[in-house]
Homo-oligomer: A and B are copies of this chain.
Amino acid sequence: MKIAVFRKEHFNAAHRLFNPNWNHEKNDEVFGKCNNPNYHGHNYELVVRLVGEPDPSTGYVYDMKELSKLIKKHVIDIFDHKNLNLDTPYFQHSNPTAENIAVVIYKLLRKEIENQYELKVTLYETERNFVEYPA
C-alpha cells in the first residue's frame, strides 16, 4: 500500500545565469535578463515527495514535522536569503537554473532520507516556471 506524502517549504535567493566560456553577446542572447551581472532573485517554493508505506502504529508514511525539520536543516538553511552563485558551493561549474537547483536539493535530501522511500523534488522558480526531478 504505497502512499506519497508531500511537504512544501520555501526560500528566497538571488542568482545569475551565464556561461563563463561564452562572450557577453552570446550570454545575453541565451540568458537574456537572467544574465544581469548584479543578480536578480526569486521566492522559490519547494515540494518534496516521499513514497512509502504507512506505519500502522502512527498512520504516518513519514512524520511531516521531521521531514520539515530535515528540509530546513539540509536545504533551507543553505539556500534561504543567499546568493546561489556566490554563497553556496554547488554552482561553481554549472548555472543555478531551476533544473540544477532541483538536482542539488535531491542529492542533499537523498543522503538524509532512508532508501526505502522514493524521493522526488518539485521546485517552483515562479508560479509559471517549475521543474521536477526525477521526472
A134, closest chain B residue (CB): B2
Whether B82 lies near A135 (C-beta < 8 A) is no
Whether B83 lies near A36 (C-beta < 8 A) is yes
A122 → chain B closest CB, angstroms = 9
CA distance A10 to B12 in the complex (A): 16
Q: Which of B57, B87, B94, B99 contacts A36 (CB 8 A)?
A: B87
Q: Which of B7, B39, B58, B133 contacts A129 (CB 8 A)?
A: B7
- Which residues of chain B are near A17, meaning CB under 8 Å? 58-59
Whether A4 lies near B95 (C-beta < 8 A) is no
Whether A40 lies near B81 (C-beta < 8 A) is yes
Asked if A86 is at the interface (CB within 8 A of a chain B CB), the reply is yes
Whether A2 lies near B33 (C-beta < 8 A) is no
Jot down 12 A-B pairs with beta carbons below 8 A, ordered by A.
A2-B134, A4-B133, A6-B129, A7-B128, A8-B129, A12-B41, A13-B40, A14-B83, A31-B58, A42-B42, A59-B99, A60-B99
Nearest first, the 3 A-B pairs at minimum CB distance are A41-B41, A33-B81, A59-B95
